[in-house]
Each structure stands twice: as structure tokens, then as C-alpha cells.
Amino acid sequence: MSASIKKRYAKTFYKQRDLPQPRQEFWPADSGELLEVLANPGLDAPLLLLGDGQHVRPAVLGERVFDVVRTESCRRVLSVDRESKLARVECGIRWGDLQDELRERGLSLERSGLNPRNSTIGGLLGRHHGVGRELWDGDIRTSCIALSGFTPTNGQYGYLPAPRKASGPDMRYLFIGGEGFLGAILDATFVVWRPSEARLFRWEVAAHEAMIVHQKMLDLGIQIAWASYVAGTLNVAVFAADGVLRSIEREVAPLKPTDTGGRDDVTILRNSLEAAHPDRRESATAKQTHRAVFSTEHAGQVLESFANADVEIWDLTRHRATFYATYPKGKVPAELPGDIAQLAHSQRLVASDGVVHWSQWSQTLKNELDRDRRLAVGP
């Protein structure tokens, strides 16, 4: 096996993310070496795949002794199809680096939603989601149209982009959202775009007013790429041809934005927001922050219940939004306030260590695709 092995590794990496420490680390240099590690029958401990380790839920590991496979060196852009606007990349490439790589090639993922900049593609695709996708929500799961993976029992799996996707069953969602439960993501293919003109609209308003402004923009028929409410400011990014953007500016003018910016402003703000994204285990406030997804119709009630917390709102769509409520140290409630707890589509602390209950169906899948428990996640 050619992947390097580290028995003496940087323990601060796990301490910063409040993660249990492994016995040793494997560092494959590319997806080929990653496959060698996963397929090696001689390993005597189950494996946990880690990119930047931002979205791991320690409870999925149980009390196992395990080894870690660090995927950050598997970061190649494998191919770019300019005609079909497709980019195939290894699982360890970081989200921010992927955007930079595509920008150098005259392509972009600018219309995707906001994600932690240092998270790897494998980590973003594999993380647990408490809610499904929504049309025009910017979720990178929607942009992922092809995937290569590996399960210990069945070996390699590949789902190809159109028109060749009919060549086999679509099993992508055994890997996407699976947390490495049944197998590993080796590489993924995304829909990309040519860069276009953009506008950044900003309002310095209270949170409840921000929700109203966002809904009014949607009611005007404006397709919003991404929107967030951070530090008292609603930020809304829109991409379109220049003539269309001028029309949108006229439509938005009655809403009285505090500031309007261009394409460079959108890029700069995106980099800044993603570098400080609240959904990171290494964040200093990760243990003090509740992450909860609510319907936008309950936004007013939710904001009232979070009156004692600092609130940021991310991933705003027509139907739902993700609220990050950060409390002072020592004053973090174990659960959401009772009057909104039943309204949440999904909720957890950012540094979540909550108990995970595995269904009978999960155990059946595990027995089928990882019967020897080669992977550390799962029952």
C-alpha cells in the first residue's frame, strides 16, 4: 500500500474540532491510493474518512477504535468539459480551492449556495442533511450529476453524466448524505457555468425585516443565487445578463437597498462569508450555536424565541431558512425553546455530539454493503 501512514499526527486537528482521536492516519496522494487503502483487506481497524473534519458527528462512530483516512491530498481536477459545462474533481479538493481552480479556467460555481470554504467536496456531499433539496436552493447536491464511489462489499461504483447515465442504477444517494456509512466518495462531477454579470444587494435591517425583503424579491420573480443575514445585514446575490440586471435594479429600488455592488463585490463578500461560515466544528462558538432549519412562515416566531441569542440566517429560499443561534458561554440551552422545537425541520448544535439511532433499514444496508464493518461509521 503506497499511502503514507502517520502514527504521530497533529492531535490539535481533532482537538479543535472536538473529535475523538484515531489510532493512526492514512494519507493517500490521490483517488487511486485512496481506493488502495479502502480495498486493503489487511487493515485491523475500521476506517473513518476525513476531509477537513467540519461536519463529522462523533456519535456515528460509537465507541470504536478506528483509523482515519485523510483525503485532503486527493485534490485534483480530473477533467473539465467546456462544451457540456461539467467539472470532475477528486473528493479531497476544498470548496474554496475548487472555485479558484474553475475561475482560472473561465468557469464558475458562483450560483451555488454558500459553504465553509475549507470543507472538502467529499465532506460537503457526505455530510448529514436533516432536510431534502428545494428548487433553486443552491445546494451542491443538486449540482452533482455524476459520482464515483466504493463500498467494501461490492467494490467500485460509478454513475455517469447524461446521456450515459442509463447504463446503470442511480445509487449516488448511498454516498451523498451518507457520512461514509456505506462507502466512500472517490470523485464527483458538477454542473458549472461561464461567469456572468452579478449584483449584490444589501440591506442593514433587523432580522424580521430581512425576511420580508427577501420574500418581496422572490415575489418580483427574481432568481436569487444565494442570500444570507449576517451582522445585521441582508446580503442577496443575483446573476444574469447586464440588461436583465439593470431591469432587476429598477424592480428592487422601491425596497430601498442600503448598498448595491457589482461582480467583484459579490466575489469578495462570498469569500469572506465562506471563510467565517458558522457551520464549522472548529468555530470558536460551535458548542454554543444551535443550527436549525425552519419554514419561512414561522420566521417571526422563531426570531422571538431566539431573543437571547445572536442570530444569523443562511440558505434563505422561498420556503425555508437555516438559523444559527449563538448563546453566551454557560447559557446554551440543551434543546431549542419549547414553543418552536416542534416546528424545526432539522436541529442540532454545530458541534453536535447527540445520540444517533440507527434504523433496521440502516443495519440491513450496512450488512449488505459493508458486512465486515470496514468503515467506522454505522451500527
Q: Which residues lie below 8 Å from residue 15, measured CB to CB, with a gap of 6+?
A: none
pLDDT in tens, 307-318: 999 999 999 999
For residue 287, count other CB atoms closer than 10 A to its CB: 16
- How far does Cα 314 stand from its chain's mean position? 12
pLDDT-derived band at 163, boundaries 50, 70, 90: low
What sign results for the dihedral spanned by CA atoms 12, 100, 4, 368?
positive
Q: Which residues lie below 8 Å from residue 208, measured CB to CB, with a gap of 6+?
A: 299, 300, 303
Q: 77-193 with 198-275: one CATH topology?
A: no
CA 206-207-208 angle, to 5 degrees, is 95
Cis peptide before 169 (omega within 30 of 0): no
- How far does Cα 322 stand from its chain's mean position? 13
Q: Are 88 and 161 in contact (CB under 8 A)?
A: no
| Residue type, position 217, single letter | M
pLDDT-derived band at 166, boundaries 50, 70, 90: low
Per-residue confidence (pLDDT) for residue 230, from 0 to 100: 98
Q: From residue 60, how far is each of 192, 289, 357 by CA, in Å?
A: 33, 20, 9
Sequence ranges of the domains in the chain? 4-70, 77-193, 198-275
Q: Which residues lie below 8 Å from residue 360, measured CB to CB, with a gap of 6+?
A: none
What is the rounded average pLDDT of the residues 231-243? 96
| pLDDT over threshold 80, residue 167 | no
What pTM value is reported for the model?
Answer: 0.93
C-alpha cell at 106: 473561465
3-state secondary structure at position 211: helix
pLDDT-derived band at 1, boundaries 50, 70, 90: low
Per-residue confidence (pLDDT) for residue 357, from 0 to 100: 87
| pLDDT over threshold 60, residue 165 | no
Q: Are 369 and 154 in contact (CB under 8 A)?
A: yes
What class is the 198-275 domain? alpha beta
C-alpha cell at 95: 470548496
Domain range 77-193, CATH architecture? 2-Layer Sandwich (3.30)
Q: Are 110 and 198 in contact (CB under 8 A)?
A: yes
Element (H, E) at 121: helix 121-126
C-alpha cell at 319: 420556503
| pLDDT over threshold 90, residue 354 | no
What is the rounded average pLDDT of the residues 325-332? 94
pLDDT in tens, 88-107: 999 999 999 999 999 999 99
- How far does Cα 338 stand from its chain's mean position? 28
What is the rounded average pLDDT of the residues 18-24? 95
